[in-house]
Every structure is written in structure tokens, then in C-alpha cells.
Amino acid sequence: MRRLLRYYRQFDELSPEEVSRDLLERRDEERRRHPLGLPPLDLSGAAWHGPPHAEVINAATFALRRAVNAYPDAARLRAAIAAAHGIDPARVTVGHGAGELIRAALRAVATDSVEIVWPGWGLLPQLVDEAGATPVPVVSPSGERTAVVCRPNDPTGAVPEIAGGEHWLIVDEALAGFADEPGVLDHPRVIQVRSFSKVHAMAGLRVGYAIVPEGGPDLAPVLGVGAPALAGALWAVENGADAARRRRAQADAQRARLAAEFPVADGVGPYAWLALPVADELAARRIYVAPGAAWGDERHVRVTLFDDAATDRLLEALREL
Amino acid sequence: MPRNDPTDTGGLFVGRRPGTGPVHLRGTPERGGERRRRADGVLAFLLLVCETLLCLSVWGLQPLAWLWIGSQADYRLGSHMGGIVVAFAGILASLFITLSLCSRLDRMWKMVRRAAGHEQRDGALPRIFGASAVIALVAFGVWFLVIQGPAPSMSA
């Protein structure tokens, strides 16, 4: 009888208290292993740290519950983007995020070598390489070959002046929402690429757009972008300005706090380019930042700006160094 | 419909809805063979029958038994109030004891169901108790209004 009961007791469930006890023990163990008692703070990521506006999720969910058996139609989103910029919808291409559009643009217009204004977005050299060209780091485009420039710059936050030339210029404006609206360059050799990942916090939906000159290359993905991403992006274009402004203000405020005490490059955007080689020291305090070595610069680190609590902790750690 | 179907919540959901988490067993059970599982299925059914009979007894057999005991107490004590108190306290006490017994049986039933290969998350007791109450109420209504008929004072 006892054997029989023992067999069935295998299938007995833990009570909620017992489940919680297990979790609490795991937490205590985690604290024992990290005597500082602080949770890790990852300030090395590239995406916005918070969720998008709830209505973006609502719009995407609504799209999911409709006809996802049909192919998506980006016409409404293109029209909305075109209206926001005052351009012809035919010039707008919607793609799977700025990265994919830059990749497509490089494949379409790369010359034998492509200039990259450096430091810049970390994946650019790889994308140029994939396009069969040789990446050449420059301070500013020479106008002698295809060039890529980030405006605002990732990681420094600088907003460079740009002008079209004889060769193609790809402008990575993934962080444009954090700067004063730079406007559309009406130039037959300029492609501007923007993202919903940063200021609209929609990195997980993978959607962005390119503004291509008339007669420019076709950068659109085959059969388009998913319906939930299109719906979320449409809401962001039509109604997301306030939320974007709040995120920009939040990033600006955290940058100002950091810059008040430590050497931070002038600029805008969700990153601070800090002139202190402190990645290892911060990591020892469980604060992780992107080391400048990723850009070939050992003297800087890139700090992704979060909120007051994260900046408090970062400042405290930096003061102790 | 799967339990984690998002449309179940009206569309928008964040995290896991209450009551949809995985069942945390005490370990990784070693399951029996096909015959063992079939036998467990039968055993689970028998346990369910026991639970049902116990629940039904709360509404019929037990009150009747306590009314009889109450009448005996009334006769021996020579007090109507004594009989009523004994019957009432007895009904309540046996109700709680029965529910405690049913609860243990229900826990056993869940374990045996899981042993039989089902992903048994909830017990059956609340449903059985509710259903037995409805059955008892309907049976009482039929007896009171149809079989027994109106009271003599009303029929006169």
C-alpha cells in the first residue's frame, strides 16, 4: 500500500508556498554569489530600454487578429510617412528595420569601396563587406565614392551636416527622432533610412523606412513587412509624436546629468559617448557598458541612457572610480 | 482552445494569465506502462464516483440521519430545543468532515489522473459540490411540490 501511495505521490504538485520557497532560495543563492547584492545593469544595449506605447501593441495585436492570412499592404503606412515628410509616397520604402534597408541600399549602390563615417553604427563595416565592397573609415564623406553616415551619430551623438554629391550617400537616421527634425534631402543620390526601433521603442517589431530619390533603387523586401509591424508603425507615425518627445526628453535629461560630472561628447540620442575607459571597472560593479574598443577607441565607452535610477547608480559607480 | 490563447483575454495580454502556469510536480515522475495508466484511469473514475456520492450524501443521507438522531435526542432529553441543537450541530459537523474528506479524495484524484497520463491542473470538487447541490435542490423541489404535494393546510 505504501509503495502504491509513493507511486502516486510522484504526481503531487507543489503548493504555491513551496514554489515560492524554491524561487526565494534561488534569489538568496544569487545574492550569495554576488556579494554586492545589486542586480546587473546592462547599459550596453542598442534598443530603447522601455516598452513601446501601449497603443502600438494594441494596433499590432488588432492586426494579428484580423486577416493575417492575406499579404500585408504597406500603402497606408507609406502614405502616412510621406504626408509627415511632405513627399511623394512613391519615394517611401518600408522594410524590416533600418539595418535591413541599409543592407539593401548598400547592395544596390555600393562602389568598390564604401566610405563609412567613423565611429558609426557598429554593423556598417560588415554590411559593406557583405555588399562586396571594401569599408573605408573616414571623418567625413569625400564625395569620391558611395558613403554611409549616421545622423545623429551612433555612438557619439553628433549631428553632422550632410550634402549630396556625385556618388550615393546613405544616411543612417535611425536616431533621427532624438534630434531636431533634419528634414528630407531632395537630392538624386541620397538615401535616408529611418527606424522605429529607437525613439518609438519598437525594435522587436523590425520595421523601418527609407526615403529614396525618384528613380532610385528598389529597397523593398519581397512581399513586404508583417502586418503587426505595419500596424504598430502606422500608429507611431500618426499618433506617436508625444511618446517620442518624452523619450527624447528623458534621454536628454540623463545625458545632461552625466555630462554635468563626467566628460561626455556633445550630441543627442539615447547613448552617451563617455571619454573614460571604465568598461571593466563598471563591469566589476555589475554595470555593463559598451567598450569603445568595439569602435577601435580604447579611451571611450558607450553608455545607453536609461532612467533616473540607472543614472544614479552609474554616477555613484563612476564617482567611486 | 488552448489555455494560453490570447483571444481568451480579449486580445491584449501581458505575461501569463492567472491559473495558466505550469503545474510544478515534486519531481520527475517515473510513469507506468500503458496497462498501468489504464488501471489508473479506472481508479480515478472510482475516486470521482466516491467524491460524488459523498457530496450527494451532504444533501440527503446526512441531514436525514441527523434529523433521526435529533429526534432521539429530543425523546431522551425531553427537550425540543435539545433535539434541534443536536441535529443542527451534527449536520454542520458532518458537512465539514465530509468536505475535508472530499478535499483529500480530490487531491488523490488529481494525482491518479496525472498518473493516468492526463495534464490534470484543477480538482473536480468545486464542480461536483455545485452540481450535487443543484441536483439535491431539484430533487427536493420535485419531492416537495410534485410527489408530496401541497401541505394539508394549503390543500384544505
Size of interface A-B (CB pairs under 8 A): 45
User: Is residue A193 a contact partner of residue A182, using CB atoms and an 8 Å limit?
Assistant: no
CB-based contact (8 Å) between B7 and chain A?
Answer: yes
Mean pLDDT of chain B: 85
Judgement on whether residues A220 and A88 belong to the same structural domain of the protein: yes
Which pLDDT does position B156 carry in this prediction?
47
CB-based contact (8 Å) between B12 and chain A?
Answer: yes
Mean pLDDT (10-residue bins), chain B, 156 residues: 48 58 81 90 95 93 94 93 95 95 95 91 92 91 84 56
Which pLDDT does position A33 carry in this prediction?
72
User: Is residue A233 a contact partner of residue A143, using CB atoms and an 8 Å limit?
Assistant: no
CB-based contact (8 Å) between A15 and chain B?
Answer: no
Whether ipTM > 0.95 holds is no
B117 in a structural domain: yes
- A188, A222, A239 - which closes a domain: A239
Contact flag A65-B23 (C-beta cutoff 8 Å): no
* CATH number of residue A114's parent domain: 3.40.640.10
Q: How many domains does chain B have?
A: 1
Q: How close, in Å, is residue A174 to chain B by CA atoms?
A: 28
Percent of chain B whose pLDDT exceeds 90 = 62
B75 in a structural domain: yes
Query: Nearest by CB to B30, which of A10, A61, A65?
Result: A10
Which distant-in-sequence residues (6+ apart) come within 8 Å of B19 by Cβ?
B121
Mutant choice from B103, B104, B113, B114 vs A, greatest count of A C-beta within 10 A: B114
- What stretch of H or E contains A135? strand A134-138
A1 in a structural domain: no
Residues spanned by the domain of B58:
34-133
Contact flag B25-A14 (C-beta cutoff 8 Å): yes
B109 in a structural domain: yes
Which pLDDT does position A36 carry in this prediction?
60
B126 in a structural domain: yes
**Cell of residue A79, nine digits:** 502614405
Judgement on whether residues A217 and A291 belong to the same structural domain of the protein: no
Contact flag B110-A61 (C-beta cutoff 8 Å): no
A286 in a structural domain: yes
B151 in a structural domain: no
Terminal CA-to-CA distance of chain A, rounded, Å? 67
Mean pLDDT (10-residue bins), chain A, 321 residues: 84 84 82 72 94 94 86 95 96 97 96 95 95 95 94 94 91 95 90 96 96 95 95 96 96 97 95 95 92 93 96 94 84
Which pLDDT does position A240 carry in this prediction?
95
A132 in a structural domain: yes
Judgement on whether residues A234 and A103 belong to the same structural domain of the protein: yes
Q: How many domains does chain A have?
A: 2
Residues spanned by the domain of A122:
54-239
Q: How far apart are CA A225 and CA A216, in angstroms?
A: 20
Which pLDDT does position B1 carry in this prediction?
39
Q: How far apart are CA A147 and CA B118, in angstroms?
A: 62
**Cell of residue B37, nine digits:** 495508466
Q: How far apart are CA B85 and CA B93, in angstroms?
A: 12
Number of Cβ within 10 Å of residue B30's Cβ equals 7
Q: Which residues of B touch A231 (CB under 8 A)?
A: none
Q: How far apart are CA B54 and CA B62, in angstroms?
A: 10
pTM, 2 dp: 0.64
Judgement on whether residues A217 and A248 belong to the same structural domain of the protein: no
B49 in a structural domain: yes
Contact flag B32-A7 (C-beta cutoff 8 Å): yes
Strand order in the sheet with A169-173: A92-95, A208-211, A190-195, A169-173, A147-150, A113-117, A134-138
Please choose, from the candidates A185, A183, A184, A190, the residue with its C-alpha nearest in 3D space to the C-alpha of residue A216.
Answer: A190
Which pLDDT does position B2 carry in this prediction?
44
